[in-house]
Amino acid sequence: MVKPVLLITGGARGIGAATALLAAQSGYAVAINYRAGSLAAGAVVQKIHAHGGHAIALQADVANETEVMAMFKRVDAELGRLTALVNNAGIVDVAARVDEMSVARLKRMFDTNVLGSFLCAREAVQRMSTRHGGGGGAIVNVSSAAARLGGAGQYVDYAASKGAIDTFTIGLAREVAAEGIRVNAVRPGIIDTEIHASGGQPDRARLLAPQVPLQRAGSAIEVAQAIVWLLSNESSYSTGTLLDVSGGR
């Protein structure tokens, strides 16, 4: 039986890695994209292989069009026609007010978090859409609860980039709904992953947990379960949906 093919951007750690492992268990052949951290990506591939699954690791910066196109061509050649995409790659930066943000910071944020998702979705639609001879598929964008909370005093730029992802999700979903493609997004809240350390706040999940109605941070696997559900036929009547996985926050 031919396995459905899934590409996960930023799949070497955190939510991406958890999604890769769970999707492989659910029967997907998984392409794990990473920008840096080849060892981490390789470790995820090894875990999938150890459980009888099929996965490959692919280096590419999602903000670089040439690298994105080359990555999708490798998926075509090594795994077959794409049937699912998770736009998970994203960055944060150190806490700052808007009046302290440099143009370089803003360009880096929006190039990775927004442009990267557009480029990957474009390539995915060209392969999945019935308009282009494809058999349909599903896209899940990883947004954030910050899109509706705003990130004041910390990372309004990150929150704004995720607000763009919400709008992108709704617009693309309506654009390709009649072409066999469903497009949804998850909006994680405070999730205990390595991304907080990259923003200079390694204890952020623990410190903010009391503000969450469920009184705890979430885990990467809890977000992964929502993503894999949105990819699956169990969510066959859901498109343009923004699913909060935020403990009520």
Under 8 Å between Cβ of 37 and 13: yes
Measured CA to CA, the distance from residue 195 to residue 226 in angstroms comes to 19
Tokens of 55: 């996965």
Measured CA to CA, the distance from residue 8 to residue 222 in angstroms comes to 17
Measured CA to CA, the distance from residue 63 to residue 91 in angstroms comes to 11
Measured CA to CA, the distance from residue 173 to residue 153 in angstroms comes to 32
Residue positions annotated with a catalytic role: 158
Measured CA to CA, the distance from residue 49 to residue 136 in angstroms comes to 27
Q: For residue 79, what is the DSSP state?
A: T
Q: Which residues share a beta bridge with 141?
A: 87, 185
By C-alpha distance, which of 112, 90, 80, 64 is closest to 7? 80
